[in-house]
């Protein structure tokens, strides 16, 4: 279309020049300067219209391409999500089935039975966490109501750490709580999910170094900070702004080995927004990632919110 437009413009300019020559030869008007001026004006009009149509075409093409790319990316994300959720549901169910079959068929001693039961509890916790995350993500998008109340943060965090230890016994989580000097108001369910998702990611994406730190400290007069540091794979700079998108996971589902659904950080970002807080992601040195979550001691609208 662009080529056709350029070609039409050239043709129109040629006709304009030919008409000018004819007019100059056959014109009855004594003032030839007037004729020249009129044809010069026509020329600019042709240039102007060509330019406007050309630009509209380019902008239109750009917008269509952008919408198309968005649609493709969104379809890819949803497809990846379906693949990951199927895998996440199937693998613990298959493990539980296999373990129960083993317990039934073999004559096992007390210790062996205990080990297999621990495996079942682990797979069950994994399923439970997955379902909790799915439900919470859906509720956060629709009708989740925050109920803020004064809470003891270390107590909540220790519960989360304890449940993660069941699923990831190899993880070494060092938790440090500085004095905050203020009462902290949180919505327990969402705060637990926030800490759980950050810690679980730190464990999952640190396959070769299971050590990680969690620290709570005062940030300023009105805010405190939850900082999770790992020594794992790290997040490339070009991905840092994408990781909070719903269903976003780096890499491709077919080749990925880490479990997940791409909902964890989306949930974290929705919760932090509701608390009126902010998230800072940076690289850890020598390797890994630091997530800093800055939250107000008393989220502004807590007085109006009830469950
Ligand atoms: P999931 O872990 O289920 O894939 P998340 O929303 O929790 O989904 O995280 C999105 C992506 O961000 C992950 O796929 C991973 O690539 C990256 N990511 C999150 N946390 C970390 C971390 N601590 N270290 C390295 N990469 C991370």
Question: How many angstroms separate the alpha carbon of residue 194 from the centre of ligand 1?
Answer: 13
* Closest Cα to atom 11 of ligand 1: 249
pTM over 0.85: no
Cβ within 8 Å of residue 28, ≥6 positions away: none
pLDDT, tens digit, for every residue of 235-282?
999 999 999 998 888 876 555 678 888 999 999 999 999 999 999 999
d(CA 188, CA 150): 10
Q: Is 26 exposed, middle or buried (0-12, 13-18, 19+ CB in 10 A)?
A: exposed
pLDDT, tens digit, for every residue of 263-272?
999 999 999 9
For ligand 1, whether the C-beta of 244 sits within 6 Å is no
Using the atom order of ligand 1, give the atom closest to the CA of residue 262: 8
106-129 average pLDDT score: 90
Using the atom order of ligand 1, give the atom closest to the CA of residue 228: 23
For ligand 1, whether the C-beta of 205 sits within 6 Å is yes
Count how many Cα atoms sit within 13 Å of the Cα of residue 178 in the half-sphere of its side chain. Answer: 12
222-234 average pLDDT score: 96
């Amino acid at each position: 279309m662009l080529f056709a437009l350029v070609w039409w413009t050239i043709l129109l300019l040629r006709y304009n020049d030919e008409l000018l020559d004819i007019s100059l030869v056959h014109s009855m008007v004594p003032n030839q300067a007037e004729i020249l001026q009129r044809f010069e004006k026509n020329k600019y009009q042709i240039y102007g219209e060509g330019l406007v149509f050309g630009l509209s075409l380019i902008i239109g093409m750009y917008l269509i391409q952008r919408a198309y790319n968005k649609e493709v990316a969104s379809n890819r994300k949803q497809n990846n999500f379906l693949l990951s959720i199927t895998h996440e549901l199937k693998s613990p169910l298959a493990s539980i089935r296999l373990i129960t079959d083993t317990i039934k068929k073999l004559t096992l001693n007390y210790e062996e039975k205990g080990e297999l039961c621990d495996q079942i509890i682990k797979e069950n916790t994994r399923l439970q966490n997955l379902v909790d995350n799915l439900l919470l993500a859906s509720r956060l998008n629709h009708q989740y109501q925050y109920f803020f109340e004064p809470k003891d943060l270390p107590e909540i965090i220790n519960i989360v750490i304890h449940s993660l230890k069941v699923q990831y016994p190899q993880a070494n989580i060092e938790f440090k709580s500085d004095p905050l000097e203020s009462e902290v108001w949180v919505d327990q369910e969402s705060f637990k999910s926030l800490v759980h998702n950050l810690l679980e990611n730190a464990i999952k994406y640190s396959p070769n170094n299971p050590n990680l730190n969690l620290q709570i400290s005062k940030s300023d007069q009105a805010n405190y900070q939850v900082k999770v540091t790992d020594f794992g794979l790290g997040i490339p700079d070009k991905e840092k702004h994408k990781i909070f998108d719903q269903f976003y996971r780096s890499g491709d589902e077919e080749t990925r080995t880490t479990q997940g659904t791409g909902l964890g950080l989306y949930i974290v970002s929705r919760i932090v927004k509701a608390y009126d807080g902010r998230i800072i992601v940076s690289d850890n040195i020598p390797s890994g990632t630091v997530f800093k979550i800055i939250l107000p001691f008393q989220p502004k609208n807590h007085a109006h919110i009830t469950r």
